[in-house]
Structure 1
């Protein structure tokens, strides 16, 4: 019986302590979940929704899937994040055995992530991934790790984590949604649009939040449209419009649908134009007039109507009231129109430059625009160099009276162009202001009694009229003391952002003050050079004409190469052929002909043999001609250059250690074995420097340096050689 009693006691002990353990677990789970975890989780969801909704979408580009992790944007929620960390830490400290502890760690990690504390957030998420037994918590931690890796541009870690997650089984619908969303976010950052839309479409079935789902449909529509899938894009835009989105998204969905029109369908084009113009009169669009004008400009550009496109795009800038994204888009489109349709390359650069100055480094097309701008700046530099050299040489061949007549006509044309721009600005500004003012009129301002007097500043139409009258007389004067004075002491320092010389900046200037001084005329903020300045630049001496022709030669060669870089092969051929025909003895002519061969090979129905014949017959001794028969020629030259570099460095080291005889012999050997090396100018100058150190015959040294300068005018060593020559001349003068 004792044995049976002992077993009975043991059995009831297990029941008692097991029940106590179960009760404790229930207590910890319930207390952790419905108190601290619930409060922290609800606050985190609330803040995340605010961050998602507060992000300012730029509808001029493909929308971002998720807002970037920007501490400036999340700083306002610091108190909320601190609350989340403090509250979620309670179960971690006092209910560590609760099954909700992992979820509390997730909340703490999120709070740290949003505050920019990536190091601690990473540690937290990695802890959950390695220590948790809950697959849902582990998957959520891995997805959040991906978000930090994306923010850090750690592509390798993003893809490694994604591949790991893709192999996991039993992923919850919520985590599937977040994973697909995160992958779409990653590929959007990489500007990989096909992959972005692929994951957006995978995420859509799992998204329940109405606002997020609508946005995802809109992004999918944008990408499908950009990829040329207009039918699919139209379907998605309809889904957006069915969901009653905010008006800005509705407006852009309707606008984007009109972009799918084919310019070959006259009826559709007419309907599209009518639709866009009707948007200008819709009161709901008063905040989006800049966008409507932009779309009209883009529409006219597609019709190759450059002048009308430019006018609409400039009106977009005038109507803009602080939307930097739209302003950037308008500047870029103007730059594109001036480049592609008007062929006005300097103006194109100005507008690209204005757009770039407003862009953030985080913009998706920042690097693309930066590269375009760098190329266009170089292109415009050489284009202007050629145009100006041609102009000056033309003027130099005229009689004095013809020059003056030409310049007066040139100045008058500039004045008229600026006056037309001013009038266009004023009329556009008034028209746009009236549209906005009409929309803003309250019932009291359009009451039945038209004679009823109202205070001036309550009447937007009267205000606008007064503003325009003031502008006509005084220009856009800042609100400051002594505003009537044209000459005021200024202590302002220009910034990098003051490089925008385009429409709005040029016209907001002091129009009455046309005369800055006796030699400079100023209209709408643009200086017009005086006749005296223009005449002074005309080359009249043989030396000045030679210098202008040198500029022309350099400009033609570089401009031809820039055209080739921009894939404008016809203009590249035309420019380089002019260079070769007008300056056949230029040392760089063989390079120009060789470039023509390369262009011809890339151009349909082009006869390469004509350029090969020209190169062989006229420049047979050039390395470019030799390369035609020896396909390995440039590879051999590269190997030879490497040898010459080493030998020259050894000779220069001997010079530095004052072993002048050995250095001189080393240079002689290089000249003997490699007479046409790429370092010929350096070798000759170092030989002259050795003469300075070892010879007492200053006249011989002077002749040697003079010969170097005459034979190597384009060398980067010219300033050093000139300095040495000046010192020698001083020494000889003191003899």
Structure 2
């Protein structure tokens, strides 16, 4: 009796209390996403488990002592079960599985055995070990006298399993049975809400309405109660009502209700969706934009609002640039574990690339046009731009204050005394527009001075030296610096410095434009399925830059695009045959019905191997014949560049020197494979004798292997001859580099960056994005920084404070800064190490 009493009411009780406390913390921390079907079990946050590791440690200690000190009690197995739960929450799944298996085999308590099997079932579902899941289900189906409590847990866990299997019908059946066994009214309410969501998803509105009404019982949290009422009205009336005014009035009444203050963004979002069904797109967009400004209690809702704005920009307006920035904002509000997070990340990649090329065209075109003006005209345009920015900031401050004051309760009270808070606008410090104007006027006359006494004195040697000394010893908060209005307004000098002054500067901008027009045309055709816009950019490319080395591929895409839209595709087919008869794109156009995909790759690989063997045997004509036939049969495969280079090498054996040199030069310009380009460059250097090359013969033999990872090493870039330019006043970007494979696993990096910015640079308007720079590297970008100094400050803070499981210390140390102009050059060259050499000399 002593051992039973002490084990149960001391150790077991306290251990169970600790685990319940953790489960309540998990429930409390979880933020429900009512736009999706709610999860059956609250997701376990590993960060929360880390925060409560002492709690779990204490629970384990209590249960362990109960087992060690009271071995003859009836509560040993129950304490083993609690130890298994501790191991489960700590994610020590192997130990947890062994513990529950042990209880199933050894415990004489039938209810505890069943409870252990059900928990085992949940672990196998979480680990996606579905063969084990089926085995446990089969085992439990043969068990007799399962208690009502365990039946509830079993059907709840089965619902969890069917959700993982995407079997909605079975999930509904399992949850329906679970509701029948549920004793806790709050748990029953939540399960009814989930069932209502599932029925609504399946289009069974009548059943959905009944379950939403059932979910209102059991005193649910206000937010879930609100959604239950909103969705029940939708399935009953709103989606079917022909009285549009009545529906709009319903949403307006919800918005005005003071109880719904924290849910106004939801109401506006739902009303916007209703307006979209009525094909009132402008009204819907207006409501969505208004919803983004509401405070809201759930940041996830903001994610859906921005995502919907992005969808409208993409599908209805074809405004890919705006859509990209909306998706950036959406991503900031989703958690990495949310389904939408991965979906948006994948969708955003191609939009990021689009925006880079689009903004390159806008910026470079403007700069080239500005370079044609006189210095006086350039200064006037810069001054007008600054003035427009000042006016925008003044209007923004005034509009924010207007919104802030629109709901002031004191306005109604002051109205009775003939006064109003609006009358205070005549007082300077009550008028934000006047304060903003005063700040700007002060800066224009006196500069952006720090707060100090006697700021107007011409002689401030003592005060200035004191301030300087203080600034040297006192760290300045980045957030405070970013709050300054002047950080948003560029100086006239920085604007004028961006305008190209020399022919080389203009050539560089034109080179970037050439790349941007081509890449944009390619993206628009292959990724956005917009042949018409693709044609516009590619025709602009070949008209403006007739000597571009991208012309064969541009012709090819134009041929495909015009063929798709019913235009004169034959025009570009003829141009390819006339101007580039040996291009793989010409072969592809001439042989549109040939084998493609993996089969073509395998067949071309076999042919390439035969041709290379003939090349080694000096049977050059036969080797060339096989290569040419392969290009005709399989024109565009992963082997195409290798085949073309081997064909060029055969030219070196049987064609004239000039022909060989010309083909090498053309190949170097056209190939996008850096390794093959390097091999061809080595051959050209050996041919022309411009500078000595070590082991030329050996290099050429390796070149024939075309694709060997050990073919050649990268040349060390010489910073003195680099194409990168030092320009500290230009807008800068912060860059993180990851290996392409690792970037696929670094799903939480963007979210960690956003959290870092919220904590340290809340007012800096920083944006994040990611893209694949080349085959080996992906880059994550933070921008914009007005100049190099601000970028350097950001990197310093990043190295000191940023933490992410997706990034090692070495990867953090390898981050770098780059100006917009240099970034465009890097994106063109794709060689990170060349830029790093320049970066180390310039920024360190």
Fold shared, TM-score > 0.5 on shorter chain: yes
Change in Cα spacing, 1:78 to 1:681, as seen in structure 2 (3 Å) is: closer
* Distance in 2 between residues matched to 1:251 and 1:650, nearest whole Å: 74
Residue 399 of structure 2 is matched in structure 1 by 427
Residue 6 of structure 1 is matched in structure 2 by none
Task: State the SS of the aligned residue for 2:308.
Answer: helix
Contact 1:280 1:289 survives alignment (8 Å): yes
Residue 642 of structure 1 is matched in structure 2 by 605
Residue 510 of structure 1 is matched in structure 2 by 485
Offset of 1:576 from its aligned partner? 6.0
* Distance in 2 between residues matched to 1:188 and 1:412, nearest whole Å: 59
Change in Cα spacing, 1:286 to 1:591, as seen in structure 2 (3 Å) is: closer
Query: Is 1:713 aligned to residue 675 of structure 2?
Result: no
- Residues 302-354 of structure 1: CA distance to partner in whole angstroms, max 9, x if unpaired? 44444444443333333337743233223222222222233211110112123
Residue 14 of structure 1 is matched in structure 2 by none
* Distance in 2 between residues matched to 1:175 and 1:322, nearest whole Å: 36
Residue 731 of structure 1 is matched in structure 2 by 690
* Distance in 1 between residues matched to 2:611 and 2:620, nearest whole Å: 7
* Distance in 2 between residues matched to 1:574 and 1:233, nearest whole Å: 45
Offset of 1:423 from its aligned partner? 4.4
2:623 to 646, 670, 687: 670
* Distance in 2 between residues matched to 1:222 and 1:421, nearest whole Å: 45
> Structure 2 matches for 1:477-516, cutoff 5 A?
482=450, 510=485, 514-516=489-491
Offset of 1:129 from its aligned partner? 1.9
- Residues 689-717 of structure 1: CA distance to partner in whole angstroms, max 9, x if unpaired? 7999x99x9xx767634432235632124
Contact 1:32 1:98 survives alignment (8 Å): yes
Residue 229 of structure 1 is matched in structure 2 by 204
> Structure 2 matches for 1:272-287, cutoff 5 A?
272-287=247-262
* Distance in 1 between residues matched to 2:590 and 2:248, nearest whole Å: 56
Task: State the SS of the aligned residue for 2:203.
Answer: coil
Residue 193 of structure 2 is matched in structure 1 by 218
Offset of 1:173 from its aligned partner? 1.7
Change in Cα spacing, 1:268 to 1:28, as seen in structure 2 (3 Å) is: farther
1:704 to 635, 644, 660: 660
Change in Cα spacing, 1:161 to 1:434, as seen in structure 2 (3 Å) is: farther
Contact 1:318 1:429 survives alignment (8 Å): no
Change in Cα spacing, 1:448 to 1:594, as seen in structure 2 (3 Å) is: closer
Q: For structure 2, which runs of at least 5 residues remain unmatched after alignment?
A: 441-447, 456-467, 544-550, 578-585, 632-636, 694-844
Offset of 1:591 from its aligned partner? 6.2
Offset of 1:201 from its aligned partner? 2.5
1:520 to 495, 499, 506: 495
* Distance in 1 between residues matched to 2:509 and 2:52, nearest whole Å: 67
2:329 to 338, 348, 354: 354
Residue 339 of structure 1 is matched in structure 2 by 314
Residue 3 of structure 1 is matched in structure 2 by none
Contact 2:311 2:323 survives alignment (8 Å): yes
1:559 to 521, 524, 532: 524
Residue 60 of structure 2 is matched in structure 1 by 85
Offset of 1:377 from its aligned partner? 3.2
Query: Is 1:146 aligned to residue 121 of structure 2?
Result: yes
Deviates more, 1:42-51 or 1:681-690: 681-690
* Distance in 1 between residues matched to 2:504 and 2:329, nearest whole Å: 29
Structure of higher RCO (CA pairs closer than 8 Å, 6+ residues apart): 2
Change in Cα spacing, 1:684 to 1:219, as seen in structure 2 (3 Å) is: closer
1:364 to 339, 363, 372: 339
Specify the structure having the higher radius of gyration (Cα): 1
> Structure 2 matches for 1:215-614, cutoff 5 A?
215-257=190-232, 259-260=234-235, 267-320=242-295, 323-378=298-353, 380=355, 423=395, 427=399, 430-431=402-403, 434-435=406-407, 438=409, 482=450, 510=485, 514-520=489-495, 532=499, 552-564=517-529, 571-572=530-531, 575=534, 586-587=552-553, 589=555
Deviates more, 1:663-672 or 1:337-346: 663-672
Contact 2:389 2:489 survives alignment (8 Å): no
Q: What RMSD in Å do the two structures reach over aligned CA positions? A: 5.7
Deviates more, 1:278-287 or 1:464-473: 464-473
> Structure 2 matches for 1:6-17, cutoff 5 A?
none
Task: State the SS of the aligned residue for 2:527.
Answer: helix
Contact 2:15 2:58 survives alignment (8 Å): yes
* Distance in 2 between residues matched to 1:172 and 1:637, nearest whole Å: 62
Offset of 1:106 from its aligned partner? 1.0
* Distance in 2 between residues matched to 1:447 and 1:417, nearest whole Å: 36
Task: State the SS of the aligned residue for 1:61.
Answer: coil
Q: For structure 1, which runs of at least 5 residues remain unmatched after alignment?
A: 1-25, 499-506, 522-528, 565-570, 601-606, 652-661
Q: Give the number of equivalent residue pairs.
A: 637
